[in-house]
Structure 1
Amino acid sequence: MKQHYSVALLVETSSSYGRQILRGIQRFIHQNESQHWIAVIEERDLNSGIPNWIQDWAGDGIISRHASDEIRKEILELDIAFVDLGDRQESGLFAKVISDDAAIGRMAGEHLRERGLSHFAFCGFQNEAWSDRRGSGYQEYLRSIGIEKVHTHFVQWCDQDAKGRDVSEVSLTQWLQQLPKPIGIMTCNDVCGKHLIDCCYKAGISVPESVAVTGVDNDELLCDFCQAPLSSVIPNAEAIGFHSAELLAKMLADQSLRSSIETVTISPLGVVARRSSDMVAVEDEDLANALRYIRSHANQGMSVAQLVEHCGVSRSTIERKMRSVIGRTPQQEILRVRLRHACTLLAGSDLAIDVIASKCGYAHPEYLHVVFKRELGVTPGEYRYASRNN
């Protein structure tokens, strides 16, 4: 017989990130065979905090994204099962499940480096731990490939009045104007990315030709509202929700686990490339032309022969230039682009695998299985399951 528990979900409904966390929690509830949860949920934003009714609430557990150090101490006094999803401050009072922000930064760095850029920058939010971690991961990746200089700028995020926003915009615009060009900029999230692209547009700085931009969260509505639709790293927020619910269920079943203070980090899924980073900053025109063509046509089933015909130079020339600059043959680059797109669709959509195969340029779904087993050691279905549960 199932045990019944009342669980409060204090997660913002105002952002795509929060809603994806809630979807992951919902998926766990539907799969939970030993417990029945009555979920208490209400409309919230990230600054809502812990509601007053919690102090007198006769519930069993809480999953929360809204926890300052003071509120965490109040929760301790309630002696209730609690999983902390807050990432705005460092804290060691409770078990946490959060995005692997360092991995997000590395992924953004890899994406921008693939554009052939030599100059890089990071724009983050002041006094936000998750933003700092993403910036650190980004800079560590760039240092690992020999790029020491990364320009940085920080702006205020929440609770900013109109005057403060104007000051922030002036400062950001001045910084953008002083940067070497072309340059790749990682912004800590899509809100920051849109703000930066707006400043570029007002200042007459072309995106992506002079400034290539990548955000984080893949908030599709926000990304598409940008003058140049914003490329974005996809955190696995649904997996965060699933793992937090799984952890809370263990605490509800075994009270001794409530004192756990482990931190689980969830890896990002990939990058959705949009126009804000759709550029190739390599000096060789033949190579730049080839790379642009591959990124535009790889998922349409293109061949190396078609690439050579488009570029108007010999196959040996294209082979030599690609090997010397990016370390891959044209065929390897086509495969890499297709495989990355397939991984993104498997992790971030519910499309059938045969549909994904078609969208990635494979005439037969069976060949997608062959490529996945050869390159990643798993089937497409196994990759989808692992991406949503790890």
Structure 2
Amino acid sequence: MTDPQSDSNSQSKKDLSTASGAPRVAVLVDTATGWGRRLIQGVFQYGHRHGRWHLDVRARYPQGEVRIPEGWTGDGIIARLATPEIVEHVKSFGVPYVNVSSIASDKRAPMITSDKRAIAEIATQHFLERGFSHFAYSGEDDLPYVKAQREDFEAEVRKHGFEVITDPDPVSHDPAANYAELMQHLVEWVKALPKPCAVFSFGTQRGVDLLEACRMADVVVPHEVAVLGGDYDDVLCEACDPPMSAVVTASQRIGYEAAEVLSRMMQGEEVEARKTVLAPVNIHSNPSTNTYAVKDKNLITAMQFIERNAFEPIQMEDVLEQVPMSRRTLERHFKDAFGKTPAEEIRWRRVHQARKLLAETNMDLEDVAKASGLNSYAYLSQVFRKMLDETPAGYRKRMRDV
């Protein structure tokens, strides 16, 4: 049987289907999520910069299935190939395609997706910075990519000596669960969690449901339960009460890079079917995690001072001026509460800021160092090599925002 993925690569640029010569590309992602909308923006951005693309995007899908209409004629497809059924559906059109799912359902397709380990790392750090020692995870575990995210979160939390409380009830794992039954269960689950507890949810909707469950259970957010969503949605996260913090995944860059790969395939280039993972951009911080799970007010004062001034030329002596504690006592208690010494916390925040500036701006490397509180490019390079095992220039080349 002929492989449509390899056959379609033989078409040339002049064979593109639309009369105007603009490639016609179907994008099969859920437009109801922030992840999907940002991904489409990335595809559009690539098409806009490289001529013009005609995008086929459907706002709604019958029975919830993301499918291309029968009879569609186009030049390429970008899709979440999360199931064998979707793979066969996409292959039936005989055009090149790129997978943007974290599930490798088709080993022959190039795959560009989120780095779930990096998502787990940034989520864990977000909670550790706030002094949490109780962690929990909630998501539809019946879905393989949700289970994979949970396992990565568990592994990351264990690195710091803690365990993750997971929800064993089947109603919580079923993506088709009855809403009333799910909410009744989540109410009891959040009541039973040790307090204060940091809860990481897969995606946005489960985080929204958890916040509602906390309201129904009279559990105070964020001081008893802090909720972090697995992906930021500019509508759902801000409409919550309180507004929900969430990881900002690199879905826009995923869309852009998927479009770049698909463009090469549509022009007949043989493209290696390899997996590319992209780290999250940052965490969009909102009131749902705006708390400190420590009782010592001196430690909170020290952390707040670091938060406000990390990119200024502060040192340990400046932190000590804020609290009536000896250096040794502060370092020991601060590390017990937050997992790092004050000096390590300052350095981590500066490196995180440098990573953000390198990825999202065209700032000169020396200016990036100064804007991050690292004083010079030489010191920035030294810290990068020690903490990330790569140079700032290499990181920018690999991770910068398209």
TM-score (norm 1): 0.80
Residue 250 of structure 1: CA displacement? 2.5
Q: Does 1:312 align with 2:329?
A: no
More helix by share: 1
2:206 counterpart letter in structure 1: C
Which runs of structure 2 are paired with 1:183-198 in the superposition (5 Å)? 183-198=197-212
Q: Does 1:103 align with 2:122?
A: no
- The residue that corresponds to 2:140 in the other structure is 125
Q: Residues 190 and 61 (structure 1 numbering): CA distance in 2 closer, same or farther, change over 3 Å? A: same
Which runs of structure 2 are paired with 1:1-390 in the superposition (5 Å)? 3=14, 4=21, 5-32=23-50, 36-45=51-60, 47-53=64-70, 56-65=71-80, 68-87=83-102, 90-92=105-107, 94-152=109-167, 155=172, 164-254=178-268, 257=271, 261-282=273-294, 284-298=296-310, 304=316, 307-322=319-334, 328-344=340-356, 347=359, 367=375, 372-376=380-384, 386-388=398-400
Q: 2:222, 2:145 → 1: CA distance?
A: 26
Q: Is the 8 A contact 1:270 1:343 kept in 2?
A: no
Residue 139 of structure 1: CA displacement? 0.7
Q: 1:131, 1:340 → 2: CA distance?
A: 26
Q: Is the 8 A contact 1:231 1:274 kept in 2?
A: yes
Q: 1:23, 1:388 → 2: CA distance?
A: 17
Structure 1: segments with no counterpart, 5+ residues? none
Q: Is the 8 A contact 2:278 2:399 kept in 1?
A: no
Residue 186 of structure 1: CA displacement? 0.7
Q: Is the 8 A contact 1:95 1:262 kept in 2?
A: yes
Q: Is the 8 A contact 1:103 1:134 kept in 2?
A: no
Q: Residues 368 and 57 (structure 1 numbering): CA distance in 2 closer, same or farther, change over 3 Å? A: farther
CA RMSD of aligned residues (A): 3.7
Q: Is the 8 A contact 2:369 2:375 kept in 1?
A: no
1:13 counterpart letter in structure 2: T
Deviates more, 1:379-388 or 1:235-244: 379-388
* 3-state secondary structure, aligned to 1:72: helix
Residue 351 of structure 1: CA displacement? 9.6
Structure 2: segments with no counterpart, 5+ residues? 1-11, 15-20
* 3-state secondary structure, aligned to 2:25: strand
Residue 353 of structure 1: CA displacement? 8.0
Q: Is the 8 A contact 2:13 2:267 kept in 1?
A: no
Q: Is the 8 A contact 2:24 2:74 kept in 1?
A: yes
Q: 1:205, 1:105 → 2: CA distance?
A: 25
Identical-pair percentage? 26
1:223 counterpart letter in structure 2: C
2:183 counterpart letter in structure 1: E
Q: 1:255, 1:351 → 2: CA distance?
A: 30
* 3-state secondary structure, aligned to 1:287: helix
Q: 1:224, 1:275 → 2: CA distance?
A: 10
1:375 counterpart letter in structure 2: V
Q: 2:331, 2:237 → 1: CA distance?
A: 35
Q: Residues 114 and 66 (structure 1 numbering): CA distance in 2 closer, same or farther, change over 3 Å? A: same
